[in-house]
């Protein structure tokens, strides 16, 4: 999901439910990032497949991108986020010239100290970074959450390409344009918000997921994550880190599942800052493949119905994160709006 940064405090209304206040901050942040991403350059054609230097941490994917000027950027990739955001520390390290942000709505969302900059050029055959980036004091999902490397790299970077996330083998690859799905892969259609001229303002993919016998439209969100409370981390007891991938569903669906299945594992106060609970869904169905169990974090209905859905081709009721893809390979053809899933790892 699109990050809430430490400059988001002025967006939170005083008093009321903490989760609702964070949802509002995130919604404003996402709206601004997605609006500014519209019309930015698409990824340039790349001859042949390109392996991307990446590390998979608790089913979350960071890329270590080499710069033509020397050095690298360590960016958290987020197919459910709209823009390129760097911390001020990272921008200073790579020598970026910072400029005031003219758009008052963007300033309100990112904070008065935020700046814009031109992205550095990448070395090698990697697609270029989006044409505009924003610099904030600290690149973190929420003020009390850890920083995310040097910043966030959203859905626009994946536009126009065919990308494979091999979660079991911890590989990220941009496929050749002539890539053809191999035998045994399970195919499903994706939905994208599309303008009259055929362009995609956001490049956010909608995917249909089976949960407890019903089909749930969800954002395909490789950046969906949570920061567990100490009590939740102890309750899970799996040896994983507190900052990890999650999947998310709207409150009304979450509550129905919890009421219907009181035997499913449940953590009442699971997430730092929001206090959101989590529910362990035994399995989900993705393109005919079963995956699970999958922890689902509760989000407000408004976060999806009023905000996220406004940036999708159809309404969505949740986010499918990397924890649901842990045992799968996923290839997303952003051009043809198709996704392919399998269980075999990359060679």
- pLDDT for position 286: 98
Q: Indicate whether 246 belongs to any domain.
A: yes
Residue 282 has pLDDT above 80, yes or no: yes
Residue 203 has pLDDT above 50, yes or no: yes
Q: Are residues 208 and 176 in the same domain?
A: yes
Q: Are residues 158 and 211 in the same domain?
A: no
pLDDT tens for each residue of 35-63: 444 433 333 444 589 999 999 999 999 99
- pLDDT for position 12: 25
Q: Write down which residue in 144, 163, 182 finishes a domain.
A: 163
pLDDT tens for each residue of 249-263: 999 999 999 999 999
111 touches 8 (CB < 8 A): yes
pLDDT tens for each residue of 215-273: 999 999 999 999 999 999 999 999 999 999 999 999 999 999 999 999 999 999 999 99
pLDDT tens for each residue of 91-128: 999 999 999 998 898 888 888 899 999 999 999 989 99
Q: Indicate whether 347 belongs to any domain.
A: no
Residue 181: half-sphere exposure toward Cβ, Cα within 13 Å:
17
Residue 344 has pLDDT above 80, yes or no: no
- pLDDT for position 47: 56
Whole-number mean pLDDT of the chain? Answer: 88
Q: Write down which residue in 138, 163, 188 finishes a domain.
A: 163
Q: Indicate whether 1 belongs to any domain.
A: no
Instruction: For residue 116, give the CATH number of its domain.
Output: 2.40.70
What φ, ψ does residue 104 adopt, rounded to 5°? Answer: -65, -30
Helix H or strand E segment including 24: helix 18-37
Q: Are residues 153 and 201 in the same domain?
A: no
Q: Domain range for residue 190?
A: 171-342
Strand partners, 279: 266, 296
342 touches 288 (CB < 8 A): no
pLDDT tens for each residue of 130-172: 998 999 999 998 999 999 999 999 999 999 999 999 999 999 9
Q: Are residues 21 and 136 in the same domain?
A: yes
Number of domain units in the chain = 2
At 219 the three-state DSSP class reads strand
Q: Write down which residue in 163, 186, 205 finishes a domain.
A: 163
136 touches 84 (CB < 8 A): no
């Amino acid at each position: 999901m699109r990050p809430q940064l430490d400059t988001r405090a002025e967006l939170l209304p005083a008093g009321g439910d903490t989760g609702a206040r964070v949802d509002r901050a995130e919604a404003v942040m996402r709206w601004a990032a997605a609006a500014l991403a519209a019309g930015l350059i698409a990824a340039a054609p790349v001859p042949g497949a390109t392996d991307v230097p990446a590390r998979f941490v608790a089913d979350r994917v960071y890329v270590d991108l080499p710069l033509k000027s020397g050095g690298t950027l360590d960016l958290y990739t987020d197919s459910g986020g709209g823009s390129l955001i760097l911390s001020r520390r990272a921008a200073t390290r790579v020598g970026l010239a910072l400029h005031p942000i003219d758009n008052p709505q963007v300033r309100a969302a990112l904070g008065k100290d935020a700046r814009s900059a031109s992205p550095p050029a990448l070395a090698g055959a990697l697609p270029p970074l989006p044409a505009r980036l924003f610099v904030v004091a600290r690149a973190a999902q929420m003020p009390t959450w850890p920083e995310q490397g040097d910043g966030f790299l959203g859905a626009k970077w994946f536009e126009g390409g065919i990308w494979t996330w091999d979660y079991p083998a911890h590989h990220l690859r941009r496929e050749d344009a002539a890539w053809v799905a191999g035998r045994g892969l399970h195919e499903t259609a994706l939905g994208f918000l599309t303008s009259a001229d055929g362009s995609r303002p956001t490049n956010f993919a909608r995917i249909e997921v089976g949960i407890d016998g019903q089909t749930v439209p969800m954002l395909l969100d490789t950046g969906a994550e949570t920061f567990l409370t100490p009590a939740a981390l102890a309750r899970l007891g799996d040896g994983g880190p507190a900052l990890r991938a999650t999947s998310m569903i709207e409150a009304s669906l979450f509550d129905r599942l919890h009421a219907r299945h009181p035997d499913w594992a449940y953590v009442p106060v699971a997430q730092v800052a929001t206090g959101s609970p989590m529910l362990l869904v035994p399995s989900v169905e993705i393109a005919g493949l079963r995956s699970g169990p999958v922890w689902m974090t509760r989000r407000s209905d408004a976060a999806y119905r009023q905000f996220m859905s406004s940036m999708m081709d159809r309404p969505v009721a949740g986010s499918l994160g990397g924890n649901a893809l842990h045992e799968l390979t996923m290839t997303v053809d952003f051009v043809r709006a198709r996704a392919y899933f399998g269980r075999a790892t990359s060679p």
